[in-house]
RNA sequence: GUGGUUGUAGUUCAGUUGGUUAGAACGCCUGAUUGUGGUUCAGGAGGUCGUGGGUUCGAGUCCCAUCUUCCACCCCA
């Protein structure tokens, strides 16, 4: 066998026992909230057929999809395509039959269409799985990461959007991250703006520029708009929007004014007003209407969401409404959907930085028994059965090593109690239970311990 | 994909204009303590200086390539 250096691809990570305890804590909280809102879980394969994914995320997205190298005859076809003076990228897209999924929304749309006869709508699903992007890694940006998606498909009602806001609030409340800001916008407003300033066909250009407002001054953005081919007149008309400020209501008033003549814009204003009103009625104070919020994913058509935290550089949740994602897979009727995705890995990084993980997620064993020999071990095995039936996590050190070594092991593993059963305890039929945090110890019967620590 | 940045012990980092045998702290191992971890004390192990080339009498230090890390653009969870 050939030797190789141990290592993993860039932008990927191993998760040890401590990290998994924390990660599962995040997943459990998120899952619990999803279930409380009536969503059910699905899973889809790590890979999809390439044509399912290509063209759904825009040009940049296509480039970031991991294609799986073809095998056998297809591999020779790749060679032929390359010889036809194709770029390697085009050749790869043409010949790779499979690719790793880039997100969970597009595979979900594929799933819905494929199983449309078995699904009753509106279909509320959640899905927690890894996705892969051929990105250049940075802080909070990985090439393999988990998304926690909730989507409702087959309903136009804005109540779905409202429920998603509730879910975001509940999740971040549970995770002890109350400082998040939920940013809202609507693609219809963005379309309306483009229409109102007479640049209907340049909506993407305008939204990309608007998105940069939080990074560069207005003058720079104006310059960029000009470079992107937007007329001076249109840029002039855009200024009230670029200089938006004040409360959500004040911003909405200004926008409504600018969009008075745009049908689609008015629809967007109507939707946004409803959502802001509902959020206000729930007493939420951290909702921000931001026209600059664009979100690159091509398929969004209505509301768009993004959650940020002051101590983290990038968004930790994002999503929106898509009207026709199932259409491209040949759905019988038009199915509108809306959903969001929690970025578990970014939430993990943020919570670690803020030291928000409860200590309890790190201990896996309640009682570790010191091994004093065969006779003692035989008795401990019986007692452990009783303890486990009472819901107490317990284990026996497998070797009769030195006490010091066993105690150190217990300490390193962060167990709550050490159980000692030697000759004295066998005679008394009791267990010496030591609290590893306080150092106190007492002699108790197994029944008394079940009573004390049992679930 | 473009531009920049980082890499030295298990970890975090020192290491002078290129010059003997590459250091510290923490961690790890052993003992003080044969039924007590976390504290204390004494001792010990551990490095092909990311990898591969090159310049030089001599390279952790300079040059090139490559990988990795982080950052900006782009995009995004």
Lowest mean pLDDT among A179-183, A236-240, A346-350: A236-240
The tally of CA atoms less than 13 A away on the side-chain side of residue A271 is 27
Per the model's pLDDT, the better-predicted residue between A450 and A324 turns out to be: A450
For residue A5, the model assigns a pLDDT of 67
Residue A10, CB, strand B, below 7 Å? yes
For residue A2, the model assigns a pLDDT of 57
Phi, psi of A304 (to 5 degrees): -130, 145
pLDDT tens-digit readout, A221-249: 888 788 777 888 888 888 888 888 888 99
* Among the listed residues A99, A162, A152, the one whose alpha carbon sits nearest the alpha carbon of residue A124: A152
Report chain B positions within 7 A of protein CB atoms.
1-3, 28-30, 33-38, 67-77
- pLDDT tier, A297 (very low <50, low <70, confident <90, very high otherwise): low
Give this complex's ipTM: 0.84
Nearest nucleic acid nucleotide to A406, CA to C1' distance: B37
Helix, strand, or coil (residue A156): coil
Same domain, A44 and A165: yes
Domain stops at, among A330, A353, A376: A353
Residue A208, CB, strand B, below 7 Å? yes
Is residue A360 over pLDDT 80?
A: no
Distance between the alpha carbon (CA) of A384 and the C1' atom of B41, Å: 38
- Tell me the average pLDDT of chain A: 90
Report how far residue A7's alpha carbon sits from residue A137's, in angstroms, rounded to the nearest whole number: 16
Same domain, A383 and A243: no
Q: Which residues of A in 433-452 have their CB below 7 Å from strand B's atoms? A: 434, 436-439, 441
CB neighbourhood size of A71 (10 A): 8
Distance between the alpha carbon (CA) of A407 and the C1' atom of B38, Å: 10
For residue A14, the model assigns a pLDDT of 85
For residue A134, the model assigns a pLDDT of 92
For residue A146, what is the domain's CATH number?
3.30.930.10
Number of domains in chain A: 2
pLDDT tens-digit readout, A396-441: 999 999 999 999 999 999 999 999 999 999 999 999 999 999 999 9
Element (H, E) at A448: helix A446-453
Report how far residue A351's alpha carbon sits from residue A333's, in angstroms, rounded to the nearest whole number: 42
Per the model's pLDDT, the better-predicted residue between A231 and A388 turns out to be: A388
Residue A313, CB, strand B, below 7 Å? yes
* Among the listed residues A319, A212, A194, A197, the one whose alpha carbon sits nearest the alpha carbon of residue A268: A194
Is residue A304 over pLDDT 80?
A: yes
pLDDT tens-digit readout, A87-145: 777 888 888 899 999 999 999 999 999 999 999 999 999 999 999 999 988 888 999 99
Same domain, A289 and A242: yes
| Position A10 in a domain | no
- pLDDT tier, A271 (very low <50, low <70, confident <90, very high otherwise): very high
Domain that holds residue A414: 364-453
Nearest nucleic acid nucleotide to A211, CA to C1' distance: B75
Q: Which residues of A in 24-63 have their CB below 7 Å from strand B's atoms? A: 57-58, 60-61
Report how far residue A227's alpha carbon sits from residue A225's, in angstroms, rounded to the nearest whole number: 5
Provide the percentage of residues in chain A whose pLDDT is more than 90: 60
Helix, strand, or coil (residue A245): coil
A171 alpha-carbon distance from chain centroid: 11
Same domain, A381 and A341: no
Same domain, A178 and A318: yes
Nearest nucleic acid nucleotide to A61, CA to C1' distance: B75
Is residue A303 over pLDDT 70?
A: yes
Domain stops at, among A353, A380, A395: A353
Q: Which tokens go with A287?
A: 């909702």
Same domain, A142 and A271: yes
Query: Is this prediction's pTM over 0.95?
Result: no
Domain stops at, among A334, A353, A372: A353
Same domain, A312 and A266: yes
Q: Which tokens go with A356?
A: 């928000």
pLDDT tens-digit readout, A57-77: 888 888 899 999 888 888 888
Report how far residue A255's alpha carbon sits from residue A62's, in angstroms, rounded to the nearest whole number: 34
Intra-chain end-to-end CA distance of chain A, in Å: 50
Q: For residue A376, count CB atoms less than 10 angstroms from its CB and return exposed for 0-12, middle for 13-18, buried for 19 or more.
A: buried
Residue A212, CB, strand B, below 7 Å? yes
Same domain, A241 and A294: yes
DSSP 8-state class, residue A277:
H
Is A418 within 8 Å of A366 (Cβ atoms)? no
For residue A3, the model assigns a pLDDT of 59
Report the nearest residue to nucleotide B67, CA vs C1'. A10
Residue A297, CB, strand B, below 7 Å? yes
- pLDDT tier, A293 (very low <50, low <70, confident <90, very high otherwise): confident
Same domain, A142 and A276: yes
């Amino acid at each position: 066998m050939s030797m190789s250096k141990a290592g993993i691809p860039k932008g990927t990570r191993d998760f040890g026992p401590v990290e998994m305890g924390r990660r599962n804590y995040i997943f459990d909280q998120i899952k619990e909230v999803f279930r409380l809102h009536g969503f059910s879980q699905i899973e889809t394969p790590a890979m999809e057929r390439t044509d399912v994914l290509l063209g759904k995320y825009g040009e940049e997205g296509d480039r970031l999809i991991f294609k799986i190298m073809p095998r056998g005859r297809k591999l020779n076809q790749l060679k032929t395509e390359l010889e036809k003076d194709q770029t390697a990228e085009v050749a790869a897209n043409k010949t790779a039959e499979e690719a790793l999924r880039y997100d969970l929304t597009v595979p979900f749309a594929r799933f819905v269409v494929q199983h449309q006869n078995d699904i009753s709508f509106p279909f509320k699903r959640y899905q927690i799985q890894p996705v892969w992007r051929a990105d250049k890694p940075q802080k909070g940006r990985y090439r393999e990461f988990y998304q926690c998606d909730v989507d409702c498909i087959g309903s136009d009602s804005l109540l779905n959007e409202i429920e998603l806001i509730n879910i975001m609030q509940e999740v971040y409340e549970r995770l002890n991250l109350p400082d998040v800001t939920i940013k809202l916008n609507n693609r219809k407003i963005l379309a309306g703006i483009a229409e109102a300033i007479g640049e209907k066909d340049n909506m993407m250009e305008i939204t990309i520029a608007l998105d940069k407002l939080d990074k560069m001054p207005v003058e720079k953005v104006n310059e960029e708009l000009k470079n992107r081919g937007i007329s001076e007149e249109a840029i002039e008309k855009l200024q009230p929007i670029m200089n938006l400020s004040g409360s959500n209501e004040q911003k909405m008033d200004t926008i409504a004014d600018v969009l008075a003549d745009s049908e689609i814009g008015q629809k967007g204003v109507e939707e946004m007003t409803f959502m802001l009103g509902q959020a206000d009625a729930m007493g939420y104070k951290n909702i921000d209407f931001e026209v600059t919020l664009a979100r690159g994913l091509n398929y969004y058509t209505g509301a768009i969401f993004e959650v940020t935290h002051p101590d983290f550089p990038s968004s930790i949740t994002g999503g929106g409404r898509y009207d026709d994602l199932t259409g491209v897979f040949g759905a019988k009727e038009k199915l509108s959907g809306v959903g969001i995705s929690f970025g578990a890995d970014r939430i993990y990084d943020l919570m670690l930085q803020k030291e928000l993980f409860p200590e309890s997620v790190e201990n896996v064993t309640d009682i570790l028994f010191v091994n004093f020999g065969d006779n003692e071990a035989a008795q401990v095995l019986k007692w452990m059965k009783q303890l486990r039936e009472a819901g107490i996590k317990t284990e026996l050190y497998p070797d009769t090593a030195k006490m010091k070594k066993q105690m150190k092991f217990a300490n390193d593993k962060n167990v709550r109690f050490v159980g000692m059963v030697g000759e004295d305890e066998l005679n008394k039929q009791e267990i010496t239970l030591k609290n590893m945090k306080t150092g106190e110890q007492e002699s108790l019967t197994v029944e008394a311990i079940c009573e004390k620590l049992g679930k």
